[in-house]
Structure 1
Amino acid sequence: MRAEDDFGLWERELRARSPEVEGSSPRGLVVVAALTAAGCTALITTGQTPLGVAGLVLSSIILLLWRAGL
């Protein structure tokens, strides 16, 4: 028996698979980040500095992990 490689078939199979589409969009992520940053900046401006800084740090970590897919 002789086996032949069919690279064309393999390429077609790989192209046929489409990646799963997630519910979040990059635009939504930017809007959430901007609103969070604006809210934390408002807290800092009104004298709630520790709370505003904590919010910025926490939201940055959450957005980073979300973007990384974790």
Structure 2
Amino acid sequence: MPINKKLLDKAIKYLLYALPLMFIGPSLIYNAFINKHNVWHYLVLAFGIMFCFLAVYFMFKGIKMLTDSLFNHDK
């Protein structure tokens, strides 16, 4: 069963992009809820939510590419 090495490398890159976003997003959301008295509350909250969505997107994309490379799905 041959593995598509290029697609596997690309999948690992996507998963590595998602890893820091999985920690940065929730910590930004937590920081936004703790500092409600600050003027930048909504901006920090928006960035935290955006980072969380990006983490989910990169994880989904990475896992899909990983399974495509392992099971040899051609596009």
Question: TM-score, with normalisation over the residues of structure 1?
Answer: 0.48
More helix by share: 2
Q: Rg: which structure is higher?
A: 1
TM-score with structure 2 setting the length: 0.46
